[in-house]
Each structure stands twice: as structure tokens, then as C-alpha cells.
Amino acid sequence: MKKRLTFLTLLPFLALILSIGCAHCPPQSQEESLQKRVEGLMQAKIDGKWDVVYTFYDASFRNAVARENFAQKTKNISFKAFRIEKIEILSSGKEARVKVATDISFQGFDFKDAPKNQHWIKEKGKWFLKVTPSSDNPFKTR
């Protein structure tokens, strides 16, 4: 009984310490949160996890293309590496342009630093890549 009483007495202090610790963690900037999303998308492409890639695409794409159709699509492109060259958040704070250089293999040919301009949008506070069903072409630079 004493142990339980001691634990209940200490519980508010533990909660206070944890809340103070979290208050000192700075919130992510828009650029940092977008960078993490871009890195997540590109790593999923490198890993060949197309079902995960699908989750990074905007709602209009996901509404037009079923996950099963997208994930089962034969991918004749292999992503090897990427580098984010530039992130530009537009003044609205709801759109961004990202320039990514990728190393890819496509139909037996290797391309180093293939440029790709990406258009990202914010939906419900989270960044998504704006994609039209026919625009996911690694050679299209906008």
C-alpha cells in the first residue's frame, strides 16, 4: 500500500518533468518537415516500396488511382541514390518546389544526377507530392 501511495505522489512530478522536457524541443520548421517527407519518399523509391511511395502522393492522385493498381504496376526504373538540391516554400506556406537529383537505372541505362522538379502541397497540415496519374516520369523536369 505504501509503494502505491508513493508512486501516486510522485506521478504528478514525473508528468511535470516530462512536459518541461517536451517544451524545450523546438517545433520543426516547414522546410525541415518537408525535407523529411522528401527523404521518406525518395528512400521508399530506392527501397522499391511502391506501396509506401503511394502514401506520399496527394489526395487527388490517390482518389484517381487505386493503391492496388499503383503498387502492382511494374516498375522498370530503379532508384539508386538521391540528393535534395533545393527546397523553396512558396509564400502561401501551402506549396513548395523541390529540386532533387537522382541516380537511376532505366531500361539498362544508368543516369547520374537526373534532375527532377517536384511540386509539394500541404494537405491537412502534412506535405504531399502533387502528382497527376501520367506525370510520374523521372525524366520530366517540368
Specify the pLDDT at position 38: 98
Specify the pLDDT at position 98: 98
Give the chain's residues under pLDDT 50. Answer: 138-142
Q: What's the DSSP call for residue 79? A: E
Specify the pLDDT at position 141: 44
Specify the pLDDT at position 21: 52
Instruction: Please enumerate in sequence order all residues whose Cβ is within 8 A of that of 37, keeping only pairs 6 or more positions apart, or say none.
Output: 56, 120, 126, 127, 128
Q: Cell 523521372 sits at which residue?
A: 138
Specify the pLDDT at position 36: 98
Specify the pLDDT at position 115: 94
Domains of the chain as residue ranges with CATH: 31-129 (3.10.450.100)
Q: Give pTM, 2 decimals.
A: 0.74
- Measured distance CA(3)–CA(119) in Å, rounded: 57
